[in-house]
Chains A and B, each alone.
Chain A
Amino acid sequence: MNELLELSAAAALRRIEAGELSADEYFEAHAAAAAGEELNAYLWRAEPGEARPAPDPEPGSGRGAGDLRGMPIAVKDLFCTEGIETTAGSRILEGYRPPYTATAVRRLGEAGARLLGKTNMDEFAMGSSTENSAYGPVLNPWDRARVPGGSSGGSAAAVAGRLAPWAIGTDTGGSIRQPASLCGIVGLKPTYGAISRYGMVAFASSLDQCGPLTRDVTDAALLLRAMQGRDRRDSTSVGIEAGVELPSREDLAGLRVGVARDFSHHAEGVEPGVAETFERALATIEELGGEVEEVELPHASHGISAYYVIAPAEASSNLARYDGVRYGLRVDGERGLVEMYERTRARGFGAEVKRRVMLGTYALSSGYYEAYYGRALRVRTRIAEDFARAFERCDLIVTPTSPSVAFELGARTADPLAMYLSDYFTVPMSLAGIPAISIPAGLATPPGGGPELPVGLQLTTPAFTESKLLDAAHALERAFAFEGAPR
């Protein structure tokens, strides 16, 4: 394997800055790897030798090209890229070439990054295994019989499989953190509103957030720094006012680290390997000087229930625009308009998307709204209040990222509820809108035996305190010294 593929992005940037490495050579090494990939991680790739120049900064944006110096980046296919096919993993958008570029991608370009490829994903980001892609599942580079997690499974597999130095994805209930955990990389979901959602194909608007998937915490900070900030095209974006510091912390001295045993114990099917890795992580936290404190998150275990009302409700509305009238797939009917709608959507959407559109339509229906949507919003508020109260007693909270290591392809496809529980630990932070990061904490043997697989640790802090979150994650990352890489 080309040794350039082993470098973290920050390490490559240092070499490029020092004149020891050409940005084009670095880009080409990845373009070649992506071209020869066998994980089905990419849906579109830059042709080797045809690296696009970074776009000029938007006039008046105050942003200058340069920080990211021609670095290649893989982008989840949920982000609109002008003139480049953007499918959101769906048949209904096959061949769709957006007339504009998402703000997050544009900002990366303005910072000097270049698009390496568009990554595979669960259709419209609905899934936890990337098996819901209309373009075939993504394979986990650690074990190709297993899933990479989802929905940003293509981005996670590309970074873990050395097909990209780093990537961006989106997280609605765990879609960055869970695949990062299952692929042994770092995945950050920033505070809701930190990064513009403009140009991100919407799944659940009040939850969707863009974030980085990287080899290490420093790389995550670099990408966050390049993408975050208020965008006048997204009214819900506010940016991180204090900015993003590159992490430097090497201990956790003086930090109070909350553990919500109650929440963790309600979890179904936490694998022994995951539980053991988590306990070891707590020991490491104390070795680093952190004080482990018991906190309560009494409503967090209802997160999945609330999430599977709110997210489908918003999705049922967000996905209604795929009607065959203006772009994307259209299947004409013989009996006019309604039949055209029905046929287009019947053929264009996969089973999971249909399931959630129906769930959401039902939840918003007159007469049911209060019982479902209204109630779910109240649970959401309670969960946010739980975190606020807990953060009065601690600086950060840790949980396992996923109850399991990477599972086998097909293991949960017939059981949607089992699939939904993959996000048990990640959904509460999404509902509360607070930042959370997953870092690799070690390896564990899967329940059925076989080679060891990565286990992630999730850290979360109050809204817009990403610098603190990254600092703590950086200290733990050093201590864990996770050296594992797929064979």
Chain B
Amino acid sequence: MNERGATSEARYEPVIGLEIHVQLRTRTKMFCGCELSFGDRPNVHTCPICLAHPGSLPTTNERAVLYALEIALALDCEIAPRSIFARKNYFYPDNPKAYQISQYDTPLATAGRLGEVRIHRVHLEEDAAKLVHVSESGRIHGSGESLVDFNRAGTPLVEIVSEPDLRDPAAAREWLQLLRTTIRQIGASDVNMEEGSLRCDANVSLRPAGSSGLGTKTELKNMNSFRFIERGIAAEIERQRAILDAGQEVVQETLHFDPRGGSLTSLRSKEEAHDYRYFPEPDLVPLAPTEAMLARARESLPELPAERRERYAAELGLAAAQATQLAFDAELGDYFERVVESAPDVDAPVIANWVAGDLVAALRDADQDGDSPASSRVEPPALGKLAAMAQRGEVSSGAARSVLAAMVAEGGDPRAIVEREGLGQIDDSGELEAIVGRAIEAEAEAAERVRGGNPKAIGPLVGFVMRETKGRAEGAEVTRLIRERLGA
């Protein structure tokens, strides 16, 4: 960073808010009975309602409402007793009714919180159709022909708007990951950014450090991966900083982030902003969740990542970073807990190391990088057994790594592998002493230096013993024996 950047970095504080759209995993669309689909032939999941034929009317998908309630409750929101659907009017070929049914001044839920970030609102709406532009640029302007696929039209969406509580791009990315895990835990969505079931726009502004006002914000669109979110926001902070440093004013506009070049281009300014002419949707009655629906939503909430992190730290004694790693990856966390259950004698932090450290590394070494522990051949009770054997000293830590590699390759029981491979710890001290004797002969030079008072020279001697024993000897015991023999 150059000098001027360094000083202006201290002078300005970024203020970041996120606006997230989540496609729900319902069987059918938000306002009609068409099935949701991904990758099917175009326009096969359509009906008079989602094609906006004259006279057709929407009806609300109750499953979508339940998912939205679950999300709102998970985000600690206040649920509106009666929320109102509204029409957002604009012409575009991906918008068949020429209005999107959304929620406006009375959303489903408000005033929530996830982690350190407050939630402004949560509401339900419908997705647009997909446009395919037959042109090089892939943009509608200048394309020869545009085709519309209405399969996606009417897919239920939950929009989540955060308060501008984030202060740097990395925090924005981390918080979005927490949100994703939370929604995945609920099972309400696939929350996949690449496939578009999770979409995120960011509102970014800068203000003088120490000030509590808000600067002029811009809205960033098209950041379709966690990496791009972080990079896009960082690029926009830099852009605004340069503008302010030059004594100019930031213009309120919507920007399109190009991940290839990292550039930001203006989509529209405030003056060009649409007038959506919102008004209450007269075809739908207000959404008034019954007590039964709320109870059902509350009951079906699983333990959420933030709570789970708290439990891992407070009850299981995990360090903060490891608690976060296991809690925010729900699958990994579930796996970890099954191992803990199967090995009551082993401390949870040790098991956390086995799962998040050794097993993940072993899968990576075995080129099964795509494999998570849960999808690997290593059954949680088997890993628990191995951890217990290691703790009792039945296998050396080196041998345990070999056993784990074998389990990753072919699954199975660790004790059977130890017996088959002869990896049990050598507890016959006579046998080990004989090998130590051979090591002193073979590595005479190193032995001489150890005798001469250089303890660091012991390496080759220990290495010899380990090779000879295929790692079955415990390192500390080997060192002790060598020193004893050499009088060091």
The chain A residues found within 8 Å of chain B, CB to CB, are: 78-80, 86, 88, 93, 96, 98-100, 102, 197-202, 204-206, 232-236, 313-314, 316-317, 320-321, 323, 325-327, 336-337, 341, 361, 364-366, 369, 373
| Contact of A326 with B52 in the complex, beta carbons under 8 Å | yes
Contacts of B55 in A (CB 8 A): 78-80, 98, 102, 197-202
Given A88-B54, A98-B53, A197-B57; A373-B148 close (CB under 8 Å):
no
Query: Is the beta-carbon distance between A232 and B59 smaller than 8 angstroms?
Result: yes
Residues of chain A within 8 A (CB-CB) of B123 are: none
**A313 and B279 contact, CB distance less than 8 A:** yes
B277 and A337 contacting across the interface, CB-CB below 8 Å? no
Q: Within 8 Å CB of A78, what residues of B?
A: 55
The chain A residue with its CB closest to the CB of B273 is: A366
In angstroms, how far is the closest chain A Cβ from the Cβ of B469? 75
A400 to chain B, nearest CB (A): 29
17 A-B residue pairings within 8 Å (CB atoms)? A86-B54, A98-B48, A99-B53, A102-B55, A197-B57, A198-B55, A202-B283, A233-B57, A235-B59, A236-B285, A320-B91, A320-B97, A321-B97, A321-B98, A337-B93, A364-B89, A366-B277
- Decide if B87 is an interface residue (CB 8 Å cutoff): yes
**What residues of chain B lie closer than 8 Å to A234, measured between beta carbons?**
57, 59, 283
CA distance A326 to B97 in the complex (A): 10
A337 to B285, CA, bound (A): 34
Say whether B54 contacts A364, CB under 8 Å.
Answer: no
* Complex Cα gap A317–B59 (Å): 18
Check A369–B57 contact: CB distance below 8 A. Answer: no
Closest to A82 in B: B48
List 14 additional A-B contacts (Cβ < 8 Å) besides A234-B57, A235-B59, A317-B277.
A98-B48, A98-B55, A100-B48, A197-B55, A198-B56, A205-B282, A235-B60, A235-B284, A323-B93, A323-B98, A361-B277, A365-B275, A366-B277, A369-B279
Contact A341:B60 (CB < 8 A) given known A206-B282, A235-B285, A326-B52:
no
Residues of A contacting B141 with CB < 8 Å?
Answer: 336
Closest to B94 in A: A325
Chain B residues within 8 Å of A199, by CB? 55-56
- A5 CA to B403 CA in the complex, in Å? 96
CA distance A317 to B87 in the complex (A): 8
Chain A residues positioned under 8 Å from B57 (CB to CB): 197-198, 233-235
Task: With both chains docked as a complex, state the minimum distance between the C-beta of B458 and any C-beta of chain A, in angstroms.
Answer: 79
Least Cβ distance of A430 to chain B in Å? 13
Are A320 and B53 in contact, CB atoms less than 8 angstroms apart? no
Most chain A beta-carbon neighbours within 10 Å: one of B55, B56, B283: B55
- B51 contact set on A, CB distance < 8 A: 326
Contact of B53 among A313, A325, A327, A364 (CB under 8 A): A327
Closest B residue to A99 using CB positions: B48
Given A235-B285, A317-B98, A326-B52, does the pair A364, B279 have CB atoms closer than 8 Å?
yes
Interfacial residues of chain B within 339-370, with CB under 8 A of chain A in the complex? none
| Closest B residue to A88 using CB positions | B54
Q: Which of B89, B93, B140, B277 contacts A325 (CB 8 A)?
A: B93
Which A residues touch B58, using CB under 8 A? 235
Give Cα A93 to B285, complex, Å.
29
Say yes or no: B91 contacts A236, CB within 8 Å.
Answer: no
Chain A proximity of B51: nearest CB distance (Å): 6
Query: Whole-angstrom distance between the alpha carbons of A326 and B141 in the complex?
Result: 20
Smallest CB-CB separation from B142: which chain A residue?
Answer: A336
Central interface residue in B59, B87, B146, B282, by most chain A CB within 10 Å: B282
- Bound CA–CA A227/B37 (angstroms): 36
CB proximity of B6 to chain A, nearest CB, Å: 43
Is B67 part of the contact surface with A, judged by Cβ < 8 Å? no
Of B91, B148, B285, chain A has the most CB atoms within 10 Å of the CB of B91
A314 to B281, CA, bound (A): 9
* Docked-complex contact B91 and A323, CB < 8 angstroms: yes
Q: Check A320 against B279 for contact (C-beta < 8 Å).
A: no
Report if B305 contacts A (CB, 8 A): no
Q: At the interface, yes or no: B96 with Cβ under 8 Å from chain A? A: yes
* A365/B277 in contact, CB under 8 A: yes
Report the minimal beta-carbon distance from A54 to chain B, rounded to whole angstroms: 21
Please indicate which of the listed interface residues A79, A80, A96, A321 has the most CB atoms of chain B within 10 Å of its own CB: A321
What 1/0 flags go to B52-79 for Cβ under 8 Å of A? 1111111110000000000000000000
Query: How many angstroms from the CA of A236 to the CA of B286 in the assembled complex?
Result: 10
**Interface status of B336 (Cβ within 8 A of chain A):** no
Check if B99 is an interface residue, CB within 8 A of chain A: yes
- Known A321-B97, A325-B96; judge A80-B277 contact (CB<8 A): no
Residues of chain B contacted by A369 (CB below 8 angstroms): 277, 279
Instruction: Map CB proximity to A onto B125-151 as digits: 1 under 8 Å, 0 otherwise.
Output: 000000000000000110000101000
Question: If the complex has contacts A98-B48, A323-B98, A326-B96, are A317 and B54 also in contact, measured as CB distance less than 8 A?
Answer: no
Task: Name the A residues within 8 Å of B87 (CB-CB).
Answer: 317
Docked CA distance A206–B284 (Å): 10
Contacts of B91 in A (CB 8 A): 320, 323, 341
List the B side residues contacting A320 at CB < 8 Å.
89, 91, 97-99
Q: Tell me which of B56, B96, B148 has the highest count of chain A C-beta atoms within 10 A of its own C-beta.
A: B56
Chain B residues with CB under 8 A of A206: 282
**B95 CB → nearest A CB, Å:** 9
Closest 4 CB pairs of A and B: A320-B98, A205-B282, A364-B277, A206-B282
Which B residues between 258 and 289 are near A, CB-CB below 8 angstroms? 275, 277-279, 282-285
Residues A317 and B52 in contact in the complex (CB < 8 Å), given A325-B93, A325-B96, A326-B96: no
Report how far A198 CA is from B60 CA in the complex, Å: 14
CA distance A323 to B89 in the complex (A): 13
Within 8 Å CB of A233, what residues of B? 57, 59
Give the docked Cα–Cα distance between A80 and B49 (Å). Answer: 13
Is there an interface contact between A317 and B283, defined as CB atoms closer than 8 Å? no
Chain B residue nearest in CB terms to A321? B52
CB pair A80–B53 under 8 Å, yes or no, is: yes
Contact of B283 among A235, A316, A336, A337 (CB under 8 A): A235
Chain A's nearest CB lies how many Å from the CB of B128?
Answer: 13
A364–B48 Cα distance when bound, in Å, is 27
Determine if A236 and B98 form an interchain contact, defined as CB atoms under 8 angstroms apart. no
A205 to B89, CA, bound (A): 15
**A313: chain B residues within 8 A (beta carbon):** 279
Chain B residues closer than 8 Å to A96, beta-carbon distance:
54
Q: Which chain B residues border A314 with CB–CB below 8 Å?
A: 279, 282
Do A202 and B54 touch across chains, with their CB atoms under 8 A apart? yes
A204 CA / B99 CA spacing, docked (Å):
15
- How distant is B232 from chain A, measured CB to nearest CB, in Å? 28
Q: B276 to nearest A CB, angstroms?
A: 8
Within 8 A of A (CB), among B75-89: 87, 89
Give, as a whole number of angstroms, the nearest-CB distance from B447 to chain A: 86
Q: Please measure, in the bound complex, the distance between the C-alpha atom of A197 and the C-alpha atom of B58, giving whole angstroms.
A: 11
A236 to B56, CA, bound (A): 13
Question: How close is B124's CB to chain A, nearest CB, in angstroms?
Answer: 14
Question: Out of B97, B275, B279, B283, which one reaches A236, CB within 8 Å?
Answer: B283
- CA–CA, A366 to B275, complex, Å? 6
Question: Which chain B residues lie closer than 8 Å to A79 at the CB level?
Answer: 55
A374 CA to B93 CA, complexed, in Å: 30
Query: Within the assembled complex, what's the spacing in Å between the Cα atoms of A79 and B55?
Result: 8
Q: Is the CB of A98 within 8 A of B54?
A: yes
The distance in angstroms between the C-alpha atoms of A470 and B148, with both chains bound, is 50
Complex contacts, A80 vs chain B, CB 8 Å: 53-55
Docked pose: A366 CA to B54 CA in angstroms: 27
How many Å lie between the Cα of A326 and that of B282 in the bound state?
23
Bound state CA distance, A131 and B87, in angstroms?
A: 31
The residues of A that contact B283 with a CB separation of less than 8 Å are 202, 205, 234-236
A360 — nearest CB in chain B belongs to which residue? B277
Report the separation of the CA atoms of residues A325 and B140 in the bound assembly, to the nearest whole angstrom.
15
Which residues of chain B (25-65) have a CB below 8 Å from chain A? 48, 51-60
Q: Is the CB of B96 within 8 A of A93?
A: no
Closest CB of chain B to A378's CB: distance in Å? Answer: 14
Closest to A100 in B: B48
B99's partner among A102, A317, A337, A365 (CB-CB below 8 A) is A317
- Shortest Cβ distance from residue A375 to the other chain B in the assembled complex, whole angstroms: 13
